[in-house]
Structure 1
Amino acid sequence: MENFFLFVLMCIFLIILPGPDTAVVTKNTLINQRIGGLKTSLGIICALLCHTFAAVLGLSAIIVKSALLFSIIKYAGAVYLIYLGAKILWSLVKKDGTNIPVDIKRPNENKSCFKQGFFTDLLNPKVALFFLSFFPQFVERGNDTFLPFLIMGLTFTVLSALWLVIFVYFINVVNDLMRKPRAKHVIEGITGTIIIGFGIKLALEKAD
């Protein structure tokens, strides 16, 4: 494996760029506080591990090369993101209509946070495409890719975990400072709209 330090540096820049994972973590931290954000992050990390082992075993290459499989996963991910975003907006409409305070949460509301994080990342074929296009640049031509891909995948996952934990705590602090229900209401609405936007963007994207 070549230029590991450069690989880590590039991973950091790529990880902090906003994407569907960030939007879902933000949404669940705002609605379910720190525990919701951490559960969502754990789901994302588990999905990244699945992508890592898929890349190591060559499954990602099969998905990327198969237009049908790529499209199925892509549209499933897009539909899921649009569903999550629409669910947020609909819940806000219901709260407006019934005058339920934004801070009141149903007992089982944060149980799906892990699942949301997991499926948001797992059903994004762009992650598999990223692994297969990015990782080989740091492997010497002709060398076996099993161990380098495994190291890079685990490194990317650990860095993602560190960033997500920091991000969750930051959002939670900001959320605590914004006590007004109306402000939280607006932020949740914006986040839901952004998630729908990511879903539409994913549906319109094509494999490179």
Structure 2
Amino acid sequence: MYWTEFLTVALIHLLAVASPGPDFAVVIRESVSHGRRAGICTALGVGCGISLHVAYSLLGIGLIVAQSLTLFTLLKWLAAGYLLYIGVRALRARPADPALLEALGDGAARSGRGAFASGFLTNALNPKATLFFLSLFSVVIDPHTPRAVQAGYGLYLACATAAFFCLVALLFSQARVRAGFMRMGHWFDRAMGAVLVALGLRLAFGELA
């Protein structure tokens, strides 16, 4: 009965998740810099961030945030500040001691908890995600659709997001891919830092539409 609605939600989500943004940049950076385990933990963090958006959309809190200019502006600046923070840290990356590259390559320098938190915060603080899920649950999904079915959609969205970024992590954490990046590791970090800073500045001073 709800297959048409579900397929519409799935298609819109696929287009949204595949578009490059903060989540993409953070997962790639963690995967290349710290390895497969860190990349996958980051991807799982992003997926749990999606769960948070789904939860407050179902509860109606997202509507309150979107209608309150003060709350929404606060969320926007928190997100921009976080992106700028991790971006500036990456911009300050220095060339690694060649003797340490192998040690860094196994992801030992990054805890799973830290990588998970990085992915979770990047997604959870993204006001674009707030707008996306608010519009999804108020425009695309019929308000008469049972809450249990809507929750099922949300579970799919969280799992699909985590799965997509796990694939991204697996791709960019491959030995051959990482070897190419690690030779110029500090330049890669700086490039990703520039992307994150640009995203943070755009979020802080640009329009979200």
| TM-score (norm. length: structure 1) | 0.86
The amino acid across from 2:42 in the alignment is T
Residue 39 of structure 1 and its aligned partner are, at CA, apart by 1.1
* Structure 1 gap ranges (5+): none
Deviations 1:87-133 (A, max 9, x none): 1121x23x47x787555549553342111111111111211111111
The amino acid across from 1:76 in the alignment is L
Residue 188 of structure 1 and its aligned partner are, at CA, apart by 2.0
Are the counterparts in 2 of residues 21 and 44 from structure 1 also a CA contact under 8 Å? yes
Are the counterparts in 1 of residues 76 and 204 from structure 2 also a CA contact under 8 Å? yes
SS in 2 for 1:3: helix
SS in 2 for 1:143: coil
Are the counterparts in 1 of residues 39 and 115 from structure 2 also a CA contact under 8 Å? yes
Q: Show the counterpart of 1:162.
A: 163
Question: Which of 5, 8, 11 is the matching residue for 1:6?
Answer: 8
CA RMSD between the two structures: 2.5
Q: Indicate the larger mover: 48-57 or 104-113.
A: 104-113
Q: In structure 1, what is the Cα distance between the partners aligned to 2:102 and 2:91?
A: 16
Q: Show the counterpart of 1:200.
A: 201
Q: Show the counterpart of 2:55.
A: 53
| TM-score (norm. length: structure 2) | 0.85
CA spacing shift, 1:107–1:132, aligned 2, 3 Å: same
Q: In structure 2, what is the Cα distance between the partners aligned to 1:167 and 1:99?
A: 26
SS in 2 for 1:109: coil
CA spacing shift, 1:157–1:65, aligned 2, 3 Å: same
Residue 135 of structure 1 and its aligned partner are, at CA, apart by 2.8
Q: Show the counterpart of 1:185.
A: 186
* Structure 2 gap ranges (5+): none
Q: Indicate the larger mover: 1-10 or 102-111.
A: 102-111
> Are residues 1:114 and 2:123 paired?
no
Question: Which of 130, 133, 137 is the matching residue for 1:131?
Answer: 133
Deviations 1:117-176 (A, max 9, x none): 111111112111111112333333x62663343232222112111111111111112754
SS in 1 for 2:83: helix
Q: In structure 2, what is the Cα distance between the partners aligned to 1:181 and 1:138?
A: 43
Are the counterparts in 1 of residues 9 and 136 from structure 2 also a CA contact under 8 Å? no
How does 1:17-56 map onto structure 2 within 5 Å? Answer: 17-56=19-58
Q: In structure 2, what is the Cα distance between the partners aligned to 1:56 and 1:207?
A: 22
